[in-house]
Amino acid sequence: MPTLQDWLQDVANVWPVVWANRVTLIPILVGIVVFEWVILSFWYSGRLARKEAEIRLQDRQLADYWDKLHVSLPAEAEARIEASPE
C-alpha cells in the first residue's frame, strides 16, 4: 500500500509537467471551484430558507402568546399562567 511519502514523491515528480500546462490547469481548477460553489449554494439556500421559516413561525407564536396574555413583563405572564386553570 502506498504511503503518504510515496504519494508526495509522485506529486513532486509530476508537478513540473502540470505546472508547464498551467494554461489548462487554472481553468480546470476554477471550474471545479465554481461547480462546488453552485452545488453548495443551492443546498445551503434551501436549508437557510427552512430555518428562516421556522424562526418566523416561532416569532409569530411568541407574539401570539404575548397578545393572549396582555402583559408587559415576564413576571406578570408567569403569574397569569400559574393562576389560569388548565
Q: Domain extents for the chain?
A: 4-83
- Residue spans of alpha helices (H) in 3-21: 4-20
Residue 77 pLDDT: 76
User: Using alpha carbons only, how large is the chain's radius of gyration in Å?
Assistant: 29
> Residue 24 and residue 42: Cα distance in Å, rounded?
27
CA atoms within 13 A on the CB side of 85: 0
Q: 22-54 pLDDT, tens per residue?
A: 899 999 999 999 999 999 999 899 899 999 999
15, pLDDT greater than 70: yes
Average pLDDT for 61-85: 78
Residue 26 pLDDT: 92
CA distances from 62 to 10, 25, 40, 65, 85 (A): 61, 54, 33, 5, 21
Residue 67 pLDDT: 77
